Homo-oligomer: A and B are copies of this chain.
Amino acid sequence: MTEAVTRPTLEAVAARAGVSRATVSRVVNGGDGVRERLVERVRQAVDELGYVPNQAARSLVTRRHDAVAVVIAEPETRVFADPFFALQLRGISKELTAHDSQLVLLLTEGRDDHARVGRYLAGGHVDGALVFSLHLDDALPGLIRHAGVPTVFGGRPGWSDGTHRAVYVDSDNRGGARTAVRHLVGLGRTRIAHITGALDQTSAVDRLDGFRDVMADADPRLIVEGDFSPAGGERAMRELLDRCPDLDGVFAANDITAAGALRVLRERGRRVPDDVAVIGFDDMLPVAEQTDPPLTTIRQDIEEMGRLMARLLLRRLDRRNADGEGEQAPDAGDDTAGVVLPTTLVRRASA
């Protein structure tokens, strides 16, 4: 076994390699402009002495990189197409910047890339992770647990076995859905349809549950699965009109789904809200104001969700670094909590 040794210095490496301090510094920082022969000599000296560059050494001691990863379990095309993510990132960015912590957004083309994300998280490049838009069969939660970085989730994760503790921030999806459907009922609508979100996400499942809370005996043909996208909303609305031409209300799982549904209703000559009242979820601007007619919807504060996720994570990191106040043992169970933000009805013209 190795005995305790003084940590070797940059000077020691320079002396052994027979080069200047600057050259060693350039080589170990991955910099350009050093001849390969010298690079080799420096690397050999580094290996022989077991030298750890300053930054890595410092991180090893303080365990702080002042950087937080954000992982969105969606392809980058969707991250940039759906304004939901930009809003959530806005909240995160403001909060991290206020604490001089770097936002490190790990983009992927799809779930095939999640293993690589897991490797990056495990590689000691960030202090923690903010993860959102999980799908039930995503490997990400397991990869993140394995990486061992403190994590806060956006949206309640859908662990099926109930054994995984998680800190998460969510909106009151079920309560908001109930408010939406009750609003349609209050307008005298009786044939109320629901276009769901992607049902492998807990937010979509919760909103469907809220719909069912109010419409316990709804005709099952009035529920069609969407995917939180405008195209999904169009497709679902066509199917609903074919199945149930007499429907008089639609609760769409989010605003961009509602925007797609409104286009199809107009195409088919239905007046909104006279023939069919439509309500969305999100209060995503400018979308909800620019639909024709402007969209009545359930507001959730997406930017605040992002801000709160970042705040909870930073607080957890601070607690861990505070003197005498260490990380709790795994069974302490004090941070299993989800924070659930309220939702409110925003009335415009569509319902």
Chain A residues proximal to chain B, CB less than 8 Å: 1-2, 4-9, 11-12, 15-16, 26, 28-37, 39-40, 43, 46-50, 52-53, 55-56, 59-61, 63, 65-67, 76-77, 80-81, 83, 86, 89-90, 93-94, 97, 100, 102-109, 113, 116-117, 119-120, 122-125, 127, 147-150, 324-327, 329-330
- Give min CB distance, A78 to chain B, whole Å: 11
Closest chain-B Cβ to A186's Cβ sits at a distance in Å of 36
CA distance A330 to B33 in the complex (A): 4
Which B-chain residue is minimally distant from A92 (CB atoms)? B107
For residue A16, which residues in chain B have a CB less than 8 angstroms away from its CB? 1
Partner of A327, one of B11, B34, B124, B147: B34
Q: Shortest Cβ distance from A59 into chain B, in angstroms? A: 8
Inter-subunit contact A32/B148 (CB<8 Å): yes
Q: What are 6 A-B residue pairs whose CB atoms fall within 8 Å in the complex?
A: A1-B8, A29-B148, A35-B327, A56-B60, A56-B124, A102-B120
How many Å from the CB of A30 to the closest CB on chain B? 6
Contact of A116 among B26, B48, B102, B122 (CB under 8 A): B102
Chain B: minimal CB distance from A235 (Å):
20
Inter-chain contact B326/A39, CB cutoff 8 Å: yes
**Is B107 a contact partner of A103 (Cβ separation < 8 A)?**
yes
- The one of B49, B55, B59, B108 that contacts A2, using a Cβ cutoff of 8 Å: B49
| Given pairs A5-B49, A56-B56, A103-B107, 19 additional interface contacts (CB within 8 A) | A1-B8, A1-B12, A4-B48, A4-B49, A29-B147, A30-B149, A31-B149, A32-B330, A33-B330, A36-B327, A47-B61, A65-B125, A66-B116, A76-B89, A100-B116, A103-B108, A104-B106, A104-B120, A123-B125
